[in-house]
Structure 1
Amino acid sequence: MIRALAVAALGLFMAGSAHSQETTYRILDFRDLDRWEQDDHAAALQVFLNTCPDLDEPDWASLCAVAQNISNAKSFFELFFRPVLIEDGAKPLFTGYFEPELDGATAPDDRYRFPIYRLPPEAKGASVWLSRREIETTDVMAGRGLEIAWVDDPVELFFLQVQGSGRIRLPDGRHIRVGYGGANGHPYRSIGVELIRRGVYSPHQVSAQVIKNWVRRNPVDGLELLRHNPSYVFFRTVNRVSPEKGPLGAMNRSVTEMRSLAVDPAFTPLGAPVWLEKDGANPIRRLMIAQDTGSAIKGAQRADIFFGTGDEAGRAAGRLKDPGRMVVLLPIQRAYALLPEAEQ
């Protein structure tokens, strides 16, 4: 599962407001969904089909079977689902995540000098292994064949470790996809917080891009800043899915750019269609599919939009922090079962 942990790991995690309100459920009409008529429902249906075969419950399995031979996607959703507004008292918050793409090679040279490592065997059984500084500045990893690839930018490698997965673009145009392979067991120390502590930036100035730019402008001090964080992530090659497709989400299927959501499964079932109404700059009105999760995604009205792979997707995802609402589409019987008896 790829996860947008960057904001949280930088010490900039935007937690939802504290609340004690009980979860409420309200069934809406499709006419209540803003711009429902204008969406590309067929595109959403294709994404739904990517993961619905993995849904075991009888109602979901039946709907998945029906969806295989649907000619009118909009009618399918309207006939077999009901929109359910689920609220838990917290303010809605929508952010974005992406898959990093780094330039790299399968052999080191003057440009590609920073290795992406597999997990060393002796680290597998250790609760705490060597620190980032020890891994990067000693010969403990040398000559062991643990390198998956070498990349050209240490700060991008650092953020690849924060994300936990990504794609390496090779000089010949091929790609290698890597996923989380383990860690050294040290706690994460925020380099964003460290820059604030040093007085380099104020809290409202710090972002992933600001940190990257500072490290690149200060290559020696920048490496030292990265080593302030002793936590180190190792990787594995992900061969199950083509690097040309989206990365694997929590359902072990590829997620789809601008159609896949990371949600809190305590409120939104994985695999369910979700109507998203994101407000703020560049509003979004779109039917998406809940196919991922994340440690920073907690609450009934909290979701992360997958923006795709690479720098442009990263910039767009990083700017997103908007209100709105999300409405979960549930099978009819399941939807009505959520209502109090007096409302059924």
Structure 2
Amino acid sequence: MGRALVSILGLLLLIALPLTAAFFLLERKPEGLAFRAVSFADLPGWDADDLSRTLPALHRSCDRILTFPMNRRIPGARIGGRARDWEAACQDILLVNDGPALRTVLQEHFQPLEVSASGEPMGVFTGYYETMLHGSEQKSERYHVPLYLRPPELVSVDLGTFRADLKGRRIAGEVKNGKLIPFADRAEITGGALKGRDLELLWVDDPVDAFFLHIQGSGRVQMPDGSLRMVGYHDQNG
């Protein structure tokens, strides 16, 4: 997971919501978090940034948002508002195809906010890294590292259901002869503990990338024909 120490000034661009929605945001904000409206001129690099690079993502997002019922909440309910709050902005965003025009549209529809937490001018933002792998449905000399489906015998136990002081703790294993025993560990699985059971979801070409996929919990696999497969965490072996 990436992490960066950044200046709080100009970190958020929030749509100019109706007053009631803005009031809802302020009522629900975490304790100590403060917002102050600033101008776009206060955003470092605003006039120099190549905004055209954001257009593919903005177009995809707006295409999706405009299919929603107007009263539907946008994910991130505290600041996302509802689909109707994005309608005018998205309609204009979909009409532009270059950076300068996009800059004008954003300045018309959005309000930059200075964010501070308990008066602190600096903050830590976290980001999520989604690894990109290259893979195939068929094993080959290149694609030789398996990504496994969840073995059916794998059992996950929530210990909090047995004792209150163990709430939030869990173990995983498999049942043999009426007893829960540890499941195969990473080394055993890498060594072939699940081999030959038709549990291979995909085959990828890099064991290091597969390792980071296990750590992150989700990622994308580019197939030989260029298509992408999304893969995600299902369970763990211990």
1:174-323 equivalent positions in 2, closer than 5 A? 174=226, 177-184=229-236, 186=238
Q: Give the superposition deviation at 1:83.
A: 0.7
Q: Which consecutive aligned stretches of 4+ in structure 1 deviate over 6 angstroms post-superposition?
A: 13-16
Kindly tell me: are residues 38 and 111 of structure 1, through their superposed partners in 2, closer, same or farther at Cα, counting changes over 3 Å? closer
Decide which structure has the larger Cα Rg and report it: 2
Identity %: 29
From 51, 57, 61, give the equivalent of 1:51: 61
From 128, 131, 135, give the equivalent of 1:100: 131
Paired with 1:42 and 1:174, the residues of 2 have a C-alpha distance of: 24
Q: Give the superposition deviation at 1:104.
A: 4.4
What does residue 132 of structure 1 align with?
185
What does residue 102 of structure 2 align with?
73
Q: Give the superposition deviation at 1:161.
A: 0.8
* Secondary structure of the structure 1 residue equivalent to 2:156: coil
Q: Give the superposition deviation at 1:131.
A: 4.2
Contact kept in structure 1, 2:138 and 2:202, CA below 8 Å: yes
Paired with 2:141 and 2:96, the residues of 1 have a C-alpha distance of: 54
1:118 correspondence with 2:149: yes
Q: Give the superposition deviation at 1:108.
A: 3.8
Paired with 1:96 and 1:40, the residues of 2 have a C-alpha distance of: 21
What does residue 306 of structure 1 align with?
none
What does residue 159 of structure 1 align with?
212
Normalised to the residue count of structure 1, the TM-score between the two structures is: 0.40
Contact kept in structure 1, 2:37 and 2:113, CA below 8 Å: yes
Kindly tell me: are residues 132 and 154 of structure 1, through their superposed partners in 2, closer, same or farther at Cα, counting changes over 3 Å? farther
What does residue 196 of structure 2 align with?
143
Contact kept in structure 1, 2:35 and 2:114, CA below 8 Å: yes
What does residue 26 of structure 1 align with?
36
Contact kept in structure 2, 1:112 and 1:152, CA below 8 Å: yes
Equivalences, count? 170
Q: Which has the higher contact order (CA 8 A, sep 6+)?
A: 1
From 103, 114, 121, give the equivalent of 1:85: 114
Paired with 2:49 and 2:129, the residues of 1 have a C-alpha distance of: 23
What does residue 51 of structure 2 align with?
41
* Secondary structure of the structure 2 residue equivalent to 1:64: helix
Q: Give the superposition deviation at 1:22.
A: 0.9
Unpaired stretches in structure 2, ≥5 consecutive residues: 7-29, 66-73, 75-81, 158-171, 174-182
Contact kept in structure 2, 1:108 and 1:150, CA below 8 Å: yes
Unpaired stretches in structure 1, ≥5 consecutive residues: 8-12, 187-344
Kindly tell me: are residues 73 and 174 of structure 1, through their superposed partners in 2, closer, same or farther at Cα, counting changes over 3 Å? closer
Cα-Cα RMSD: 3.6
What does residue 21 of structure 2 align with?
none
Q: Give the superposition deviation at 1:23.
A: 0.9
Contact kept in structure 1, 2:5 and 2:123, CA below 8 Å: no
Contact kept in structure 2, 1:131 and 1:184, CA below 8 Å: no
Kindly tell me: are residues 121 and 29 of structure 1, through their superposed partners in 2, closer, same or farther at Cα, counting changes over 3 Å? same
Normalised to the residue count of structure 2, the TM-score between the two structures is: 0.55
Q: Give the superposition deviation at 1:31.
A: 1.5
2:232 partner amino acid:
Y
